[in-house]
């Protein structure tokens, strides 16, 4: 093929265009790697082969409970010893080992462990409130307990801890009627005016105060998690709440708040117990928005566990329903977790209740999730 020789003017423009493209590429690269420009975690390399697992969480973990897991095909779990809240502030290795051994005997993997006192409990009802109250030196004592728990989990081979950083716990209004005589856990902000006016022992907690307490905690526990290679999975605020509800700016009740959270003390051991239901409860259009949110956190390696529940409604007004009848396409959600390389548990959460047989409701959820996983893995 013949090539026409460039004129001097064309040659100069061509060189300028090439240099401009090179300069632009260098500038973009420098901006992407500049410490000052990195306000959020970058996407993580995807696993070569992600595998979704049917999971569950229950505490205390008992022989009877493990048998139920076996019955419904559960392969990986989040467990916890008895007592639920040990007075010392952490479980011993012997106590943790009993849970592991129960699971291993049933050929079930103990993938996550509950945390003894940072649970989804309202601040007025917890025995160890100092971390969330920002009260020193008591919070330093409790952080040491959390650090000890990380160390003990690593010692018995458990590589994940599930916890909460909530002041307000899980808030709901009256249950609502569901199909077949079921009742649904529900939230209607318009019906919660009396709840909103109640104050907690924390007093007024502004967003900056809340972030200080979160940051203080993460700066002291994430390095320990890195040392022992234990992933810390934090649950979002359930539900998302308006600022100042009960005097608290619940900063982990928005997607932007969760993005900021995972960017504090950046580490591959610091991420989320990604409660799909709770995050949908933060959205105006959950059936449309949730998939890109899964992608954002999933591509950054920040999803450590998934509470796989469906809702009907939106932020400030929703019901927690059976997985097949909500506003979110759960099959599309499963495919999205596969797409981002998520390699972990999908577990039912807040299943509707009935007056006669709650286990049947759980069985329905297990079977539904198991079928979705088998279809996705096929």
Crossing angle of helices 138-155/93-105, nearest 10°? 40
pLDDT at 365 over 50: yes
Among the listed residues 67, 114, 76, 117, the one whose alpha carbon sits nearest the alpha carbon of residue 95: 114
Q: How far is CA 277 from CA 37, 159, 239, 290, 376, in A?
A: 32, 24, 9, 10, 20
Q: What is the mean pLDDT of the chain?
A: 90
Q: Are 98 and 62 in contact (CB under 8 A)?
A: no
CB count, 10 Å around CB of 38?
13
Helix %, strand %, coil % for the chain, to 5? 45, 15, 40
3-state helix/strand/coil string of 118-169: CCCCCHHHCCCCHHHHCCCCHHHHHHHHHHHHHHHHHHCCCCEEEEECCCCC
pLDDT at 157 over 60: yes
Q: What pLDDT is attached to residue 47?
A: 56
Q: What pLDDT is attached to residue 130?
A: 98
Q: What pLDDT is attached to residue 15?
A: 43
More confident residue, 7 or 45: 45
What sign does the CA torsion over 265, 269, 271, 272 have?
negative
Pairing state of beta strands 109-114 and 160-164? Answer: parallel
pLDDT in tens, 75-111: 999 999 999 889 999 999 999 999 999 999 999 999 9
Run of H or E including 53: strand 53-57
Among the listed residues 298, 151, 160, 305, the one whose alpha carbon sits nearest the alpha carbon of residue 228: 151
More confident residue, 134 or 356: 134
pLDDT at 23 over 50: no
Q: What pLDDT is attached to residue 49?
A: 62
Q: What pLDDT is attached to residue 267?
A: 98
pLDDT in tens, 163-219: 999 999 999 999 999 999 999 999 999 999 999 999 999 999 999 999 999 999 999
pLDDT at 11 over 90: no
Run of H or E including 331: helix 330-339
What sign does the CA torsion over 187, 193, 198, 202 have?
positive
Domains of the chain in sequence order? 45-377 (3.20.20.150)
Q: What pLDDT is attached to residue 46?
A: 61
Q: What pLDDT is attached to residue 44?
A: 74
Query: What percent of the chain shows pLDDT beyond 90?
Result: 83
pLDDT at 26 over 70: no
Q: Which residues of 313-348 are buried (b: 16+ CB within 10 A; e: fewer)?
A: bbbbbbbbbbbeebbbebeebbebbbbbbbbbbbbb
CB count, 10 Å around CB of 365?
24
pTM reported for the whole predicted model: 0.88
Q: What pLDDT is attached to residue 43?
A: 82
Distance of CA 199 to the CA centre of its chain: 27
Among the listed residues 183, 182, 165, the one whose alpha carbon sits nearest the alpha carbon of residue 174: 183
Q: Are 279 and 296 in contact (CB under 8 A)?
A: no
Q: Where are the alpha helices (DSSP H) in 238-285?
A: 255-263, 276-280
Q: What pLDDT is attached to residue 39?
A: 59
pLDDT in tens, 205-264: 999 999 999 999 999 999 999 999 999 999 999 999 999 999 999 999 999 999 999 999
Length of the chain, please? 378
Q: Are 207 and 200 in contact (CB under 8 A)?
A: no
């Amino acid at each position: 093929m013949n090539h026409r020789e460039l004129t001097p003017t064309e040659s100069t423009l061509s060189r300028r265009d090439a240099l401009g493209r090179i300069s632009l590429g260098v500038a973009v690269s420098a901006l992407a790697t500049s410490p000052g420009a990195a306000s959020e975690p970058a996407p993580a390399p995807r696993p070569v082969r992600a595998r979704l697992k049917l999971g569950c969480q229950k505490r205390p973990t008992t022989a009877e409970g493990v048998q139920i897991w076996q019955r419904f095909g559960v392969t990986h779990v989040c467990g916890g010893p008895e007592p639920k809240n040990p007075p010392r502030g952490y479980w011993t290795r012997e106590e943790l080992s009993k849970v592991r051994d129960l699971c291993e005997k049933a050929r079930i993997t103990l993938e996550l462990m509950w945390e003894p006192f940072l649970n989804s409990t309202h601040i007025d009802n917890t025995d160890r409130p100092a971390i969330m109250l920002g009260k020193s030196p008591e919070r330093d004592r409790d952080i040491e307990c959390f650090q000890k728990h990380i160390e003990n989990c690593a010692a018995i081979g458990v590589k994940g801890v599930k916890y909460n950083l909530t002041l307000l716990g899980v808030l709901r209004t009256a249950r609502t009627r569901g199909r077949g005589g079921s009742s649904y856990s529900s939230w209607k902000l318009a019906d919660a005016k009396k709840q909103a006016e109640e104050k907690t022992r924390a007093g007024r907690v502004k967003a900056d105060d809340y972030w200080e307490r979160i940051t203080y905690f993460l700066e002291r526990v994430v390095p320990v998690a890195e040392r022992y290679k234990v992933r810390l999975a934090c649950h979002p605020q359930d539900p998302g709440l308006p600022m100042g509800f009960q005097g608290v700016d619940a900063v982990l009740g928005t997607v932007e708040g969760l993005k900021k959270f995972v960017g504090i003390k950046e580490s591959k051991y610091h991420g989320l117990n990604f409660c799909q239901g709770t995050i949908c409860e933060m959205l105006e259009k959950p059936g449309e928005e949730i998939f890109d949110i899964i992608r954002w956190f999933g591509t950054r390696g920040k999803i450590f566990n998934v509470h796989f529940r469906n809702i009907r409604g939106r932020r400030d007004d929703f019901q927690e329903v059976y997985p097949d009848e909500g506003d979110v396409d759960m099959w599309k959600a499963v495919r999205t977790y596969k797409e981002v390389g998520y390699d972990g548990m999908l577990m039912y959460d807040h299943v509707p209740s009935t007056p006669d047989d709650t286990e049947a409701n759980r069985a329905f959820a297990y079977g539904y999730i198991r079928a979705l996983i088998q279809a996705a893995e096929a």
